[in-house]
Structure 1
């Protein structure tokens, strides 16, 4: 059954595939089992009434909707597989931390082709990921991407799935939009405890070559059909989009916006146009989703890696002005040009953590209530730059790394609905610090590659180079 997935940074893809001995035979067994009564599968486009579904019971009518805050996205390799001791270690780590919101795609990023043949489902890998989220006490979020091959002109069948980059970046053909909406509804029925769905990923496959712009009409049509299908399953399901990459450019480039720019660069006007079209023509939305990097499309950090994060604040405010009242989510966010690629060894972990913290602060100041760290997990080994925990392949794996502490603490201290407080900062020198605070706690970041001393909220604070500190107020 091959495991396929990507580690993706805004606009980047890395495709890898694992083919185990007997994979084809295992895929056949899973497919056959999924067609048996009582396994949540059907030969029709949606599950039959009375089929047993994989999942926990739907929330009771008087149970509040689960909150979604600051969490992470599962990539190709994660802690649902590996040494039982290492898997249990990560589950315990997440549970003790109060659980973190966790995103899983329905195809790729650790999940196999969910519907290799129309009406025949393979949710084995997806089941395992959703079970992991439950066991670790997290709130599950599902991203509805990508599409089975038969929906986009390819062959049907698990063994014929094309996992190449070009194939995975292909959107469903318009004549299969209803089929994709039906698949989304099947997923929603299978996992009734999943209350939040993101429609598609980064407009993949939705590009108008003739006009050199996003095919926002096509994406919006798909979004609307999926939105309506999910609401028919349960009107209380929460649906969001458009998951656009909020690209920024050098202000001198042709497509740079003349009105939306800053020291971090200028927004790509084509992206702004795509957002405005979706926002005007959407059937509805319960939250707004964007993604992007602090650096420009040509990997420049303007004017430096910390000041570049101001882009997150600017984008957030721009989106909130256009979609007032809707929660703002960053489905992915990147602060290091190598994010999502093969080389994450350019920065020290302390520098990476400090810039990451500055980016999260900037998103919160822009009005975001949720953000998901793209966890760049490795399959094996003991080293994992930028990861939340060490690989779980061995019994000693699954141990937390510095990035986990930052993401988990940020989620605990700044949940949705947080009211932020003003904090005075007096610096003893020209050093710059970034601060985010409530009435109870303050997160302080040293943006300098040297020790600094500053007075924060009336308290003298000594910080190491690229230090990140939490202060009780």
Structure 2
């Protein structure tokens, strides 16, 4: 899969040539000028021809550079124009190329906020930013086509609030998925990025124990699956040395003893194995007393159970009684 972002400087008012490239974040996140949309589509064609084994292409990233300051909303007309040019160009290269967008960040606000808050997509976790929904709807109505749809987002609000708590906040991922799927006529839904733990000022996520982190991550993946997602990309953090790496899948690979799997690896890899795209999910019985305390996802062969409490519990799920430690994650066979 290739994410087609971002544009060379000469497409946005700068000079051509690698020596003249402005590598600052603000420059990289600047969208191409409308006069160069066709040039960007031509660049996408070059990429597709150079890597013919790649079949999936995401057009742009998080609407970066597509904010309309004068209207205080997303420039969804500009993005959609760029998207359509790229879509058509890639299909001319090979009709089998799979193209998707719009890769919007599905921001939400505090449930008490009224300004820019959606009145339709909301819950205890907050309310969707209506400007994001408007941008998605415009793209969806005016796109030249799509083979899959892409979103990005977090379970917490724009103010980094996990409402009403870190586990229940993941219900947002389900609500967003259901809203998107209802509008896209069965297109596969990809979460190109998803986050369930707010970052600190250095963009680090180290405030939780790894046991708690894995439990919330499992709950987030369950929520995405319930919302109809077919794919979710886990952005793996990395440290240069040591085994103390919050949320990492494996230890640093710079040394001979590196690459040892960490707890998050077991969860992410097994989730993908047990619940691949196209899985038909089933409802399993959960003891009444356990319903508020566990999150469950099941198909005809496996059941994933998460203890959302910071204490051990005895739970009964799918007719089986078992013990779960604080923030425990357990797989059952059926």
* 2:84 corresponds to 1:189: no
Q: State how far apart, in whole Å, the 2-side matches of 1:429 and 1:268 are.
A: 33
1:228 matched residue in structure 2: 88
* 2:20 corresponds to 1:160: yes
Preserved contact between residue 13 and residue 33 of structure 2 (Cα < 8 Å) = yes
* 2:279 corresponds to 1:418: yes
* 2:302 corresponds to 1:434: no
Q: State how far apart, in whole Å, the 1-side matches of 2:92 and 2:211 are.
A: 47
Q: How large is the Cα RMSD of the aligned pairs? A: 1.5
The partner residue of 1:298 within 155, 159, 167 is 159
Q: State how far apart, in whole Å, the 2-side matches of 1:283 and 1:169 are.
A: 24
Q: State how far apart, in whole Å, the 1-side matches of 2:143 and 2:220 are.
A: 29
1:255 matched residue in structure 2: 116
CA shift, 1:158, in A, is 1.9
Distance of aligned partners of 1:402 and 1:362 in 2 relative to their CA distance in 1, 3 Å threshold: same
2:34 matched residue in structure 1: 174
* 2:251 corresponds to 1:371: no
TM-score by length of 2: 0.96
Q: State how far apart, in whole Å, the 2-side matches of 1:469 and 1:385 are.
A: 20
Preserved contact between residue 12 and residue 33 of structure 2 (Cα < 8 Å) = yes
Q: Deviations over 1:133-154 (max 9, x none)?
A: xxxxxxxx11111111111112
* 2:186 corresponds to 1:343: no
2:73 matched residue in structure 1: 213
Structure 2 counterpart SS, 1:374: coil
Q: State how far apart, in whole Å, the 2-side matches of 1:235 and 1:289 are.
A: 20
2:314 matched residue in structure 1: 453
Structure 1 counterpart SS, 2:208: coil
CA shift, 1:381, in A, is 4.2
CA shift, 1:378, in A, is 2.8
1:469 matched residue in structure 2: 330
Q: State how far apart, in whole Å, the 2-side matches of 1:284 and 1:298 are.
A: 34
Q: Deviations over 1:387-412 (max 9, x none)?
A: 11122222222221111111111111
Preserved contact between residue 289 and residue 331 of structure 1 (Cα < 8 Å) = yes
Unaligned runs of 5+ residues in structure 2 are none
Preserved contact between residue 384 and residue 391 of structure 1 (Cα < 8 Å) = no
* 2:144 corresponds to 1:273: no
1:309 matched residue in structure 2: 170
2:189 matched residue in structure 1: 328
Q: Which has the higher contact order (CA 8 A, sep 6+)?
A: 1
Preserved contact between residue 290 and residue 316 of structure 2 (Cα < 8 Å) = no
